[in-house]
Amino acid sequence: MTNSSVQAFSEWEKGADKSRVGDPLWSVQAYRLSLFAIESHTFDRRINAQFGMAAALDQLTRAIGSISANLAEGYSRSSVADRTRFYGYALGSTREAIAWYDTLQFELGDVAAERQCTLIQIRRLLLTMLKRTRPDGPAHSMRDFPKRTPDSDS
């Protein structure tokens, strides 16, 4: 990592601690990306004084931290219902973090868009995970676009 930018996800991933990589949870890409999002956020806070004074900082920090925490807790649950509930919480936190980055465009500039790209990847992965855990359930409420019905074309 340099003083001016955070390293790329692929480089960050290669340098992960061996104890972390050995955990089966490491196989979940959304989890790995969420940890990268935390480290990127921490980096931003250290190098950007304006960002450190932003009113939205506390809520953004909590939202980003909540993504990996809920993924970890959900991954450890034995029932599909419990797993789905925690993955849904992670999705909500991801969407919240994306929204908080919208409010920080002035402080972060292009960095906000970069951080949102990571979060959007996490959101897509979580939507897929939720769809797979309950393909016949109410996942339509969590999709990026409304579910199409035969009547929606008219």
Q: Where are the chain's structural domains?
A: 16-143
The verdict on pTM exceeding 0.85 is no
CATH superfamily of 16-143: 23S rRNA-intervening sequence (1.20.1440.60)
Mean pLDDT of the chain: 84
Long-range contacts of 78-83 (CB under 8 A, 24+ apart): 80/133, 80/134, 83/133
Note the pLDDT tens digit of each residue in 48-93: 776 766 678 889 999 999 999 999 999 999 999 999 999 999 999 9
Amino acid making up residue 12: W
